[in-house]
Homo-oligomer: A and B are copies of this chain.
């Protein structure tokens, strides 16, 4: 059960490039977790395309990093060709990878950056181009890791000795290049020797909390306890939780935060128990063109995620299901938003604008 790259005590890495320009991308197959730890060697674009498509790698930052390395895989067959050959191979690879998850913003962002890099060195011999593309892919990964580390550093102060910390879904190492966003606070506090206990909501319907968060914290040697989503209120009432930290999929200009379904209810419950709730997210998660959470569309997903959970039919035949994938937590329910630049606190339009514009 040992992780592919982690020893107990350090956060897992969901993806790693092995070797030099002619190497390959090793992915931890997240669809096999938590029962099996399977390493998948991606040696061509199609293998990676399938892995992204089928959620073997998931989490916006992790997908972006994987796609960047995918461009190096696309380059490889043309590594002895002409300058036109490698550029064409790279373009073809970018186009193919862009079809893997049609709505993944980080995927497009990473592919665009790799494409711009390729264009900027067009006409260069394949050998040099390969090195440049490899370096750009590593840079994308390293910047993501640095961003996660900065979030962890900025938020670690929130976790004090003896605390109980509750999280929902997976905003962890598995969703990024390493270290995560919400879980970055926990890894950073753990590295600083703080002793605390994490409660992980299982996060129905897709169980990212049970399958991924519980697993990666366990791998890192952090004290983690799995609960059902419906137990969070009781756990708080019993005084077992002093802090809630979650990730976000999109944050509006006023600080309203869209995240996995259940986050909003958790925020209401945390408020009722005077437990501060923080969102941890990089500035790329902020969408300043969206004034407030009401303008964020809520994705509706297929009902069989509820009625046929875990590969088994759990609801009656033909039952109607309502399956919103996300909800929006209003800024006023958040104690703060931890970013790589610092903590936005209190959460409102002015403070969000101030934190982000300071760093332009």
Which residues of A are in contact with B by a Cβ distance under 8 Å? Answer: 1, 33-35, 199, 201-205, 207, 210-211, 214-215, 218, 223-235, 237, 261-262, 264-266, 268-269, 271-272, 298, 303, 306-307, 309-324, 327
Contact = CB atoms under 8 A, between A and B. Distances in A.
Contacts of A210: 306-307, 314-315, 319
Contact of A233 (B1, B226, B321, B327): B327
A309 B310 contact: yes
Contact of A268 (B207, B233, B316): B233
Given A34-B317, A204-B204, A230 B229 contact: yes
B324 A234 contact: yes
Nearest to A330: B237
DSSP majority for the A interface? mixed
Given A34-B319, A218-B319, 18 more contacts: A1-B316, A34-B315, A35-B316, A202-B204, A210-B307, A210-B315, A211-B315, A214-B316, A214-B319, A218-B318, A226-B321, A227-B321, A230-B230, A231-B322, A233-B262, A233-B268, A234-B298, A272-B272
Contacts of A223: 320
A2 to B, nearest CB: 12
A316 B34 contact: yes
Assembly of this chain: how many copies?
2
15 contacts: A33-B316, A34-B317, A35-B317, A204-B204, A218-B319, A226-B307, A227-B306, A227-B322, A229-B229, A230-B262, A231-B265, A233-B262, A237-B264, A310-B310, A311-B312
A202 B228 CA distance: 12
Contacts of A202: 204, 306, 314-315
A166 B237 CA distance: 23
A262 to B, nearest CB: 3
- Among A227, A237, A269, A324, which residue has the most Cβ atoms of chain B within 10 A? A227
B229 A204 contact: yes
Nearest to A265: B233
